[in-house]
Structures are given as C-alpha cells and as structure tokens.
Structure 1
Amino acid sequence: MSGTEIIPSTLQAEQPWFDYPVRVQPHHTDYSGGVWHGTYLTWMEAARVECLRSLGVDFEELVALGCDLPVVEISIRYHRQLQMGAQALVRARMLEVSGVRIPWEYQIQAPDGQVLYTTAQVTLVAVDREKGKILRRLPATVETALTRLAGKAF
C-alpha cells in the first residue's frame, strides 16, 4: 500500500466515528517541519476525551469519582507525515468492550479522506485511583455513556 489510500478497518466497523479536527502548529513539529511522532498520540487522546465529553463524561468527574482510564496497550502505524500548517481529521471510535478492557480505534487523515496519515488501536482500563486497582465494573455514569457511544451516530 502506498500510504495514500484509506485503509478499511480490520476491527469492528459498525461503530460510529467521532471526528476531531486539528491543524499542525509549529510546536507539534520537529526540526524538519514534520509532525513529531508523539503529537499524534496527543491528538488521539484529545479526540477520545472530547468524544466522551460529547456523551456527558468529563474526566474531571471521573477523577472526582475516584476513577481513571489509563492506556494499557497501544499500537500505532505511521503511514505519512503531516507537515506544519496542514489540517487533519482525527477519527476515534470505541470498539466492543471486552471485560475490563476498553478498546479504541483511530485514523488520522486528510479532511477530504484522501490521505491516511496514521492508524492506531488503544486499550484503556478503568482504575480505582485510591487503591490503584483495576475496577471490575465501570462507574454507572461511565457505563451508561459507553453504552450510548456504541449506538451513537456522530
């Protein structure tokens, strides 16, 4: 593959995408003017946080409930590098929750969908912040929101 086509998801394709637009600023780049590899991760997290916020789940509330959602696994593939000044669309969607694991899928692409820059999968787990232990059940507000997410069209 040349890296210029959109790669169809090999994961669960039924879930809707949440779209989060970004523009490459100078502080997102390395010395060559290309986006630094860690910036893509920052954009994916911002998209995930905003997706959850759109469903009424604010991270501030999670912290107040004593819950955190840390990343426990990540896989990322860089197809093409974005350059300073470019616009892109970070597409995020939650896949089917498996036990305590909350998997997400991402695509970072040109706004017109013609160029694919990055694809990734990220897995989160819910953790009791005080005890540092994985929660076997999500707080009710989070569970309700994630259930809504599975059926929401963005």
Structure 2
Amino acid sequence: MTFTVSIAVRSYELDTQGHVNGAVYHQYGDHARWECLRAAGVSVDEMLAGGVGPVTLENTIRYHRELRGGDEVKVSCAFRWSGGKTFGVQQRFWRGDGELVAELTSIGGLLDLRERRLLPDPEARWRALATSPEVLGL
C-alpha cells in the first residue's frame, strides 16, 4: 500500500534560484512519514510511553524536475520490510501536473530509548502499535 499526502510549497522554502531548498525535501518526507504513521493508527504518545522511537539512519534523494513556489506537491510513503533491524521507506514527490520531481529513499529503525539500541524486530513492534497496519504494508 502507498500512502500519499499533499503539501503546498511556501515561498520561504525556496532557495535563491526559486527552487525548493534541498533540506525542505527532507522535511516534506518526514511530514509524509508521520502522517502515514498517524493514518496507520500509531499513537506517538503510546510509542514513546512504550520506550521506543523511530530513527532515520540514511536518506538518499534523487532529483528529477524543479519544484517551485506555488506548486502543490504530492508525497508518497511506502514502507519496505526486510526482516532485520532496519526497514526501508520509499517516497516519491509529484507536482500537481503529475510530473515526478524527486525520490527519497530512507533506511530507518526503531530505537529502544533506554538501551539506545535498535530493536531486533521493528516490523513486529510497528504491527503492535498500529490499529491499521496495512497502511504500513504489514
């Protein structure tokens, strides 16, 4: 399953050339991942009370086209499960005209907040935290 959220590009997110600043793509990606978790029924308060929190270990962005002020961008979010301590998140960014503008590939994990170590089975923990785990591809 692929989750999608729409975001309006704001003028203060632009660089001097009028393009969306590269760091903003990361912010859009973070926003879409949190919205995806919320849509899956994951409660941040319950997650933190349970002593775990998500961590990003790697992000890679590939740019295809410009994204400029006034554009609306759709950001997808699809979790990929590998059975190890980490999981992948594939995100795509489309302009309102349907043009693919960027792709963000992330590697993440769930951190035990007391031990400061990755949980051995994040897939099982996400499944337990979510009321609609199918939104997370579970």
- Distance in 2, matches of 1:112 and 1:95, equals 27
- The corresponding residue for 1:97 is 82
Q: Quick check: 1:49–1:58 contact (8 Å CA) kept in 2?
A: no
1:58 corresponds to 2:46: no
What's the % identity of the aligned pairs?
26
Partner of 1:136: 120
2:134 matched to 1:150?
no
Q: Is 1:36 the equivalent of 2:29?
A: no
How do 1:3-14 and structure 2 match up within 5 A? Answer: none
Counterpart of 1:77 in structure 2 is 62
Between Structure 1 and Structure 2, which shows a larger proportion of strand residues?
Answer: 2
When normalised by structure 1's length, the TM-score is: 0.79
> In 1, are the aligned partners of 2:85 and 2:120 still within 8 Å (CA)?
yes
For the structure 1 residues 31 and 40, does the alpha-carbon distance in structure 2 shift closer, same or farther, using more than 3 Å as the test?
same
- Structure 2 residue runs without a partner (length 5+): none
Count of paired positions: 135
Shift of 1:32: 2.5
Q: Distance in 2 between matches of 1:44 and 1:118?
A: 11
Q: Secondary structure of 1:39's partner?
A: helix
**Which SS does the other structure have where 1:131 is aligned?**
coil
**Equivalent residue, structure 1, for 2:100:** 116
> How far apart, CA to CA, are the structure 2 residues paired with 1:143 and 1:30?
39
Secondary structure of the equivalent of 2:5? strand
Supply the distance in 2 between the matched residues of 1:150 and 1:57 (Cα, whole angstroms).
Answer: 14
Q: Output the CA distance in 2 between the equivalents of 1:46 and 1:25.
A: 15
Q: TM-score, normalised by structure 2?
A: 0.87
Match of 1:22 among 7, 24, 30: 7
Give 5+ residue unaligned stretches, structure 1: 1-15
Task: Name the amino acid aligned to 2:90.
Answer: E
What SS class does the counterpart of residue 126 from structure 1 fall into? strand
Tell me: CA distance 1:31–1:43, structure 2 relative to 1, closer, same or farther (3 Å): same
Q: Structure 1 residues 103 and 132 mapped into 2: Cα distance closer, same or farther (>3 Å)?
A: same
Distance 1:111 1:54 in 2: 22
Contact 1:69 1:125 in 2 (8 A): yes
